[in-house]
């Protein structure tokens, strides 16, 4: 399914970005957790869906996960980005970090993360990159490779075509679309049956009262 979605999106000149690469399998602690996985399990279970989409659809971009995999942050993992993604799979698109998901300057650039998101950069200020090159921790070739990936993506989405970006973004607010969205939402609901009074909230308790639903975000 991911392969087909990517092909459909990119057939319209829009970049598809696969995420989150890889092993972002839980929301609790996902920005700090270190996921420990054997090589075989990683390849056959967690990397496999990405591999199918990468080889069949050639997505233009991939976003790294917040979590670590076997001790390395995903945005700084040579094993994931250099050996597997660009080596074994032969992929040549752009790798971006998740928002605030860049965890290093030198390691991330050398591993293969092309773009730190969002801007302005927290790690990749020009002066820090220049200092790292001067110290021999980064090479100009590495920086050129990262920059070329960004330019290639801009070219793929038509950013250099004159007047391409001057269109006004609009949305269609049509009654038939609203009806479809409402129907899809209703059919996607799950009705809980209150057998043996297991649910704490009952119609009698809620009658005439205002209920606030409070949660993260």
pTM for this predicted structure: 0.78
Cα–Cα distance for residue pair 165/154, rounded to 1 Å = 12
Active centre residues (catalytic): 98
- The two beta strands, 61-64 and 17-21, are parallel
Would you state the pLDDT for residue 154? Answer: 95
- pLDDT-derived band at 164, boundaries 50, 70, 90: low
Separation of alpha carbons 65 and 24, rounded Å:
6
Nearest Cα to 129, choosing from 115, 119, 139?
A: 139
Task: Give 196-213 pLDDT, tens digit per residue.
Answer: 888 887 888 889 999 888
Distance in angstroms (rounded) separating the CA atoms of residues 24 and 80: 14
User: What does the pLDDT look like over 123-143, one tens digit per residue?
Assistant: 999 999 999 999 999 999 999
Which of 90-104, 157-171, 178-192 shows the lowest per-residue confidence on average (mean pLDDT)? Answer: 157-171
Res. 104: pLDDT tops 70: yes
164 token code pair? 């391409």
Q: What is the overall mean pLDDT for the chain?
A: 93
> Which CATH superfamily includes the segment(s) 2-156?
Glycoside hydrolase, family 3, N-terminal domain (3.20.20.300)
pLDDT of residue 165: 59
Could you give the count of Cα atoms lying within 13 Å of 61 in the half-sphere of its Cβ? 26
Residue 187 vs residues 25, 61, 101, 182, 184: alpha-carbon distances, Å: 26, 33, 35, 9, 5
- Provide the pLDDT confidence category of residue 171 given band limits of 50, 70 and 90: confident
Domain residue ranges of the chain, discontinuous segments joined by +:
2-156
Q: Which residues in the chain belong to E strands, given as ranges?
A: 17-21, 34-35, 61-64, 68-69, 72-73, 94-96
Mean pLDDT (whole number) for 98-122 = 96
For 141-158, the pLDDT digits (tens) are 999 999 999 999 999 999
72: which strand partners? 69
Taking only the tens place, the pLDDT of each residue in 24-75 is 998 899 999 999 999 999 999 999 999 999 999 999 999 999 999 999 999 9
Please give the backbone phi and psi of residue 104, each rounded to the nearest 5 degrees, phi first. Answer: -165, 165
């Amino acid at each position: 399914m991911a392969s087909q979605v990517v092909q459909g999106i990119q057939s319209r000149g829009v970049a598809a970005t696969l995420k989150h690469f890889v092993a972002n399998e839980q929301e609790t602690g996902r920005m700090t957790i270190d996921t420990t996985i054997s090589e075989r399990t990683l390849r056959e279970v967690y990397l496999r869906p990405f591999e199918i989409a990468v080889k069949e659809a050639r997505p233009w971009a991939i976003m790294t996960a917040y979590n670590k995999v076997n001790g390395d942050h995903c945005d700084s993992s040579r094993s994931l980005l250099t050996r597997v993604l660009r080596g074994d799979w032969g992929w040549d698109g752009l790798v971006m970090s998740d928002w605030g998901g860049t965890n290093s300057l030198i390691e991330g650039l050398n591993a293969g993360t092309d773009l730190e998101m969002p801007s302005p950069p927290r790690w990749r200020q020009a002066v820090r990159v220049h200092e790292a090159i001067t110290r021999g921790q980064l090479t100009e070739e590495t920086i050129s490779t990262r920059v070329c990936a960004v330019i290639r993506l801009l070219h793929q989405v038509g950013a250099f075509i004159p007047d391409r970006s001057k269109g006004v973004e609009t949305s269609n607010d049509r009654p038939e679309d609203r009806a479809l969205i409402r129907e899809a939402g209703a059919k996607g609901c799950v009705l809980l049956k209150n057998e043996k009074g297991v649910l704490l909230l009952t119609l009698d308790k809620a009658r005439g009262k205002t209920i606030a639903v409070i949660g993260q975000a």
